[in-house]
Structure 1
Amino acid sequence: MSLKKHKKEILLIVIILTAAGALLLVNQVLFAKPAEKAEISVDGNVIDTLDLSKDTEITVNGYNGGTNRIVIKNGKVHVSEATCPDKICVHQGWVEHTGENIVCLPNHLIVRVTGE
């Protein structure tokens, strides 16, 4: 391998790492607001907005009779139970940062963490 080609590869790696670092920094700045609320929507319609500072448990009726149990505890939110077949929303675990989402496609549910 020629030295010239080797230098080009190193330069490409440096450019990629610099771009990745810049994108990470931009992401941190954009989502730096502290999470305050969990916005719950079904079929694209916001049905409730919950305060993350108050421990809460609610059951949300989703699409076609499906349900999701949403738990807020210690400023975090998760779906503890769901009637959907795959339970991806349940396995997603706790979310707490602005911009994070929990999605249950079969029940058409989205829980979005916001900073407002």
Structure 2
Amino acid sequence: MIIKKYKKEMILIAGILIVSCLLLLFNQILFRAPAGKVEITVDGNVIQTLNLNEDGEILVHGFNGGTNRVVVKDKKVSVTEASCPDKVCIHKGWIQHTGENVVCLPNHMIARIIGE
């Protein structure tokens, strides 16, 4: 009797679970490519592309004189210094997988990990 009462809800939950699993599988297949480079853009223009296999750092001059220090270390990328007031880009931490990015909206800067 309880099963009949909640049949539509159970079908909805099962459907949501199936779609979620398919989306997770699609995401894993899409971003399977090994991370090889980080592409740094300001206002949509590529400023520099850095190799993740080489440690280093770059000072990016963004919008209205704003700056971001992008560091590559141990095949990971992080923004360690920023002139923006909120510092969200710094709090993002280290990224390392293809498709991940660090965005600094006030300075119009994006650091995006791309495949090789």
TM-score bracket for the superposition, by shorter chain length: over 0.9
Q: Please, what TM-score do these two structures have when normalized by structure 1?
A: 0.96
Question: Which has the higher mean CA deviation after the structures are superposed, 73-82 or 6-15?
Answer: 6-15
Match for residue 87 of structure 2?
87
Residue type at the aligned position of 1:67: T
Q: What is the CA deviation profile of residues 59-116 of structure 1, one whole-angstrom value per residue up to 9, with x for unaligned ones?
A: 1111101000000001000000000000000000001110011000000000010003
Cα displacement (A) at 1:54:
0.4
Structure 1 gaps, min length 5: none
Identity of aligned residues (%): 62
Match for residue 8 of structure 1?
8
Cα displacement (A) at 1:2:
5.5
Find out whether 1:102 has 2:99 as its counterpart: no
Q: Please, what TM-score do these two structures have when normalized by structure 2?
A: 0.96
Structure 2 gaps, min length 5: none
Matched residue SS, 1:29: helix
Residue type at the aligned position of 1:63: F
Match for residue 38 of structure 2?
38
**Number of residue-to-residue matches in the alignment:** 116
The 4+ residue runs of structure 1 with deviation greater than 4 A are none
Find out whether 1:51 has 2:24 as its counterpart: no
Matched residue SS, 1:78: strand
